[in-house]
Chains A and B, each alone.
Chain A
């Protein structure tokens, strides 16, 4: 199946700093990628839909100025957590499908565990 990578896998940062997470589709082009957040022992919550060449679509309650998304190419989407605070500590996972929709199989990245001190 298709492969999605994420970098970094783990990051620890100080409160107030910004952290960038990269999501790459390695063997297919992804016009659309999805960013999720997962708290310990909880489900995946969709944060935003990243669209190549246009603005991301954010879910209700997700601050777009806090979580900056850039989908610069057909294989790369980045999520930047700006001015991170301890409550932003979480597991962030991206996904993509080969046809750009959520209708078919989603390939998930390995996730990035963010810890804000």
Chain B
């Protein structure tokens, strides 16, 4: 079955620095979604990517979908303490209604 892998599992970042989390699927995806879960909270939708090679930006967050639609990345610039949480990618195969979640990247920030 479909597997979505995410690295790194943990990311410790100095405030102000940049970092990237990567998501890879074993199969071609119809779309990929990114969610953020704060400690003690529930996942909150960030963005969806649909097109091959698509790049979307939300302030300091840049999301990218690979040309083959099998990988994605989230890059955060100038990390702030508000960026703390776990970032999940989730994708679904073509003609499949189910979302498969990656293991998540848990981000902590050193002030």
- A residues sitting closer than 8 Å to B (CB atoms) are 1, 32, 34, 41-46, 49, 93, 95, 101-111
Given known pairs A102-B97, A105-B33, the reply for A43 and B103 (CB within 8 Å) is yes
A106 touches B42 (CB 8 A): no
B33 touches A106 (CB 8 A): yes
Question: A49's contact among B92, B98, B102, by CB below 8 Å, is which?
Answer: B98
Bound CA–CA A32/B106 (angstroms): 29
B97 touches A44 (CB 8 A): no
Interface string of B3-17 (1 = CB under 8 A from A): 000000000000000
Size bin of chain B's contact surface: 20 to 34
B48 touches A102 (CB 8 A): no
B68 close to A (CB within 8 Å): no
Residues of A within 8 A of B85 (CB): none
A105 touches B45 (CB 8 A): yes
Bound CA–CA A3/B26 (angstroms): 32
* Interface SS of chain B: strand
Most buried by B among A43, A104, A106, A111: A43
Bound CA–CA A95/B98 (angstroms): 12
What is the distance, in angstroms, from B77's C-beta to the closest C-beta of chain A?
Answer: 24
B42 touches A105 (CB 8 A): no
A103 touches B31 (CB 8 A): yes
Given known pairs A43-B103, A103-B92, the reply for A49 and B97 (CB within 8 Å) is yes
What is the distance, in angstroms, from A2's C-beta to the closest C-beta of chain B?
Answer: 10
Residues of A within 8 A of B45 (CB): 1, 105-107
What is the distance, in angstroms, from A83's C-beta to the closest C-beta of chain B?
Answer: 27
What is the distance, in angstroms, from A6's C-beta to the closest C-beta of chain B?
Answer: 9
Bound CA–CA A44/B98 (angstroms): 12
Most buried by A among B33, B43, B100: B43
Q: Which residue of B lies closest to A104 (CB)?
A: B48
